[in-house]
Protein backbone atom coordinates (compact mmCIF):
# COMPACT_ATOMS: atom_id res chain seq x y z
CA UNK A 1 0.00 0.00 0.00
CA UNK A 2 1.22 3.48 -0.85
CA UNK A 3 1.48 5.51 2.33
CA UNK A 4 -0.30 8.84 2.68
CA UNK A 5 2.97 10.40 3.87
CA UNK A 6 4.69 9.43 0.59
CA UNK A 7 2.14 11.47 -1.38
CA UNK A 8 2.37 14.39 1.06
CA UNK A 9 6.16 14.47 0.79
CA UNK A 10 6.04 14.10 -2.98
CA UNK A 11 3.80 17.14 -3.47
CA UNK A 12 5.18 19.40 -0.71
CA UNK A 13 7.62 21.40 -2.86
CA UNK A 14 5.24 21.33 -5.86
CA UNK A 15 2.61 23.07 -3.73
CA UNK A 16 5.06 25.80 -2.72
CA UNK A 17 6.39 26.29 -6.25
CA UNK A 18 2.90 26.58 -7.71
CA UNK A 19 1.32 28.61 -4.90
CA UNK A 20 -1.09 25.84 -4.02
CA UNK A 21 -2.19 24.45 -0.66
CA UNK A 22 -2.57 20.75 0.08
CA UNK A 23 -5.83 20.22 1.96
CA UNK A 24 -6.12 16.45 2.29
CA UNK A 25 -4.69 13.18 1.00
CA UNK A 26 -6.63 9.93 1.29
CA UNK A 27 -5.22 6.50 0.41
CA UNK A 28 -7.13 3.28 0.95
CA UNK A 29 -5.89 -0.33 1.00
CA UNK A 30 -6.60 -0.71 -2.72
CA UNK A 31 -4.23 2.23 -3.47
CA UNK A 32 -7.04 4.55 -4.49
CA UNK A 33 -5.38 7.92 -3.94
CA UNK A 34 -7.41 11.12 -3.56
CA UNK A 35 -5.64 14.47 -3.35
CA UNK A 36 -7.58 17.62 -2.47
CA UNK A 37 -5.95 21.02 -2.79
CA UNK A 38 -6.72 24.72 -2.93
CA UNK A 39 -5.29 27.73 -4.76
CA UNK A 40 -5.33 30.60 -2.24
CA UNK A 41 -6.63 33.83 -3.74
CA UNK A 42 -8.06 32.22 -6.87
CA UNK A 43 -10.14 29.33 -8.10
CA UNK A 44 -8.60 25.97 -8.90
CA UNK A 45 -8.85 25.25 -12.63
CA UNK A 46 -8.63 22.06 -14.66
CA UNK A 47 -5.02 22.81 -15.68
CA UNK A 48 -4.03 22.86 -11.99
CA UNK A 49 -5.56 19.41 -11.56
CA UNK A 50 -3.98 17.96 -14.71
CA UNK A 51 -0.51 19.27 -13.88
CA UNK A 52 -0.65 18.04 -10.29
CA UNK A 53 -1.95 14.65 -11.39
CA UNK A 54 0.86 14.24 -13.92
CA UNK A 55 3.41 15.35 -11.34
CA UNK A 56 2.22 12.77 -8.82
CA UNK A 57 2.09 10.02 -11.44
CA UNK A 58 5.66 10.80 -12.50
CA UNK A 59 6.81 10.35 -8.90
CA UNK A 60 5.22 6.93 -8.41
CA UNK A 61 6.13 3.62 -10.06
CA UNK A 62 3.13 1.68 -11.38
CA UNK A 63 5.37 -1.31 -12.10
CA UNK A 64 6.22 -1.51 -8.41
CA UNK A 65 2.72 -0.80 -7.09
CA UNK A 66 -0.45 -0.09 -9.09
CA UNK A 67 -2.75 2.74 -8.01
CA UNK A 68 -5.63 4.95 -9.08
CA UNK A 69 -5.38 8.70 -8.66
CA UNK A 70 -7.98 11.43 -8.31
CA UNK A 71 -6.89 15.06 -7.96
CA UNK A 72 -9.50 17.68 -7.10
CA UNK A 73 -10.18 21.08 -5.66
CA UNK A 74 -10.96 20.97 -1.98
CA UNK A 75 -14.33 22.50 -2.80
CA UNK A 76 -13.88 25.45 -0.48
CA UNK A 77 -16.23 28.24 -1.43
CA UNK A 78 -14.68 31.67 -1.80
CA UNK A 79 -16.43 34.70 -0.35
CA UNK A 80 -16.27 37.40 -3.01
CA UNK A 81 -16.23 40.11 -0.32
CA UNK A 82 -13.15 38.77 1.48
pLDDT digits 0-9 by tens, 45-79: 999 999 999 999 999 999 999 999 999 999 864 44
The answer as to whether 35 is a domain residue is yes
The answer as to whether 25 is a domain residue is yes
Query: d(Cα 24, Cα 70) in Å, to the nearest integer?
Result: 12
Strand ranges of the sheet holding 32-38, from the earlier edge strand across to the other edge: 21-27, 32-38, 68-73
The answer as to whether 81 is a domain residue is no
Report pLDDT digits (tens) over 17-43. 999 999 999 999 999 999 999 999 999
CATH number, domain at 14? 3.30.300.70
| pTM greater than 0.85 | yes
Q: Residue 24 belongs to what domain range?
A: 4-73
Task: Say if CB 1 and CB 31 are below 8 A apart.
Answer: yes
Confidence (pLDDT) at 76: 61
Q: How many domains does the chain have?
A: 1
The answer as to whether 26 is a domain residue is yes
Amino acid sequence: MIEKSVIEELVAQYMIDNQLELVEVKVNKANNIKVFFDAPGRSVNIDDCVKLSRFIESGLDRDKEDFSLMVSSSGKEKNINE
